[in-house]
Structures are given as structure tokens and as C-alpha cells.
Amino acid sequence: MFARLYRAASSLAVIFFSITVLAFSPIQATAGEYAALTGVKGLDSVFDFSLGSSKMATLVFPAILDVHQNQEVRALPAPPRTVIVFHGKAVMFLSTDRKGGAKEELEDYDKVADLIRKAKKAGIKMEVCMYAVKVLGVDPATLMPEIDRVGNGFISVLGYQAQGYAVEVVP
């Protein structure tokens, strides 16, 4: 009788130990909806953003936010690192100077500004190419404070790429 109780207790101990090990072991996230995430430890991405249409920016920006905040991306072992580098006509969205724009366009600029503030709060790093700011005649004093300034956005994109970030071009 004692031997039977000992074996039962030993079996329970093995089961308890196995469950404890499984419960507290770091398990890599399995890709649910995104098979492309299978085996991925984390997403480091830089969005090379030069899109000139404010209307299109209001549509694309939420998708970039989703990359950073997506549940399956967040379930990966390493948190996402996301950067947006603005250059080209996209620098126009970053200015608080709204003189001379059409009403609809100004509303889109305000939507983009709101999305930029949300991105900053979410932990997305943003940079603006001061070369493009100068060429397009944007007053640097009017640039949104949420965005870091770099001399040349191409250097930033290439630097992040050299660090292993995936580059997504938003033309």
C-alpha cells in the first residue's frame, strides 16, 4: 500500500513539475494570422516616408501604427522597434504653419498631426530630414516637437538598415 501511494505521489510530483516548467518557460510566439512571424524574435522596422498626399497619409499612417501595436508583433520575445523617417514632400505635414491650404487639406494635416502624437506616445521614434525641410522652404521653427531632426534622412534610413532594421518605403 505504501509503495502504491509513493508511486502516485511521485507521478503527481512529476506532472506538477512539468506543468510548472511549461508555465514559466519562455515560449516563442507562434504565428497565428501571420505565418511570416514564425521564428521571428522581434520586428525592427524603419519606414522611409516621403508620401506627399495628406489624404493618403491619413490612410497609411494607421497601418504603420498597427505594425508597432499589433498583438502578434507585441507577442514576439523582443518588443518592436519602429522608426519613421520623413523626407520629401512629407515634411509639409510636420509643419504647424497652415497658411494657404485648402480646408480639406488642412483637416488632413490635422489628422496626420494627431496620428504623429499617437505614434510618439506609442514609442515610435520619428525623424525629419532637414535637407528636405530646407529645399521645400519649410520654416524649421514650425516643425512638430515630437519629431527629431537629422541633417539627411537618407543617412538615417541607411544607418537603421545597417543595424538590421527592415526598410519599408512609403513613396
Q: What is the DSSP letter of 38?
A: T
pLDDT score, position 100: 67
> Scanning the structure block, which residue is given the C-alpha cell 522581434?
42
Give residue-wise pLDDT tens across range 105-135. 889 999 999 999 999 999 999 999 999 999 9
Q: What is the CATH number of domain 32-170?
A: 3.40.1260.10
DSSP per position, 66-98? HHHH-HHHHTSSS--EEEEEE-GGGGGGGBS--
- How far is Cα 82 from Cα 65, in angstroms, rounded to an integer? 9
Q: How many whole angstroms separate alpha carbon 55 and alpha carbon 112? A: 9
160 pLDDT tier (thresholds 50, 70, 90): very high
Buried b (16+ CB within 10 A) or exposed e, 24-49: eeeeebeeeeeeebeebeebbbbbbb
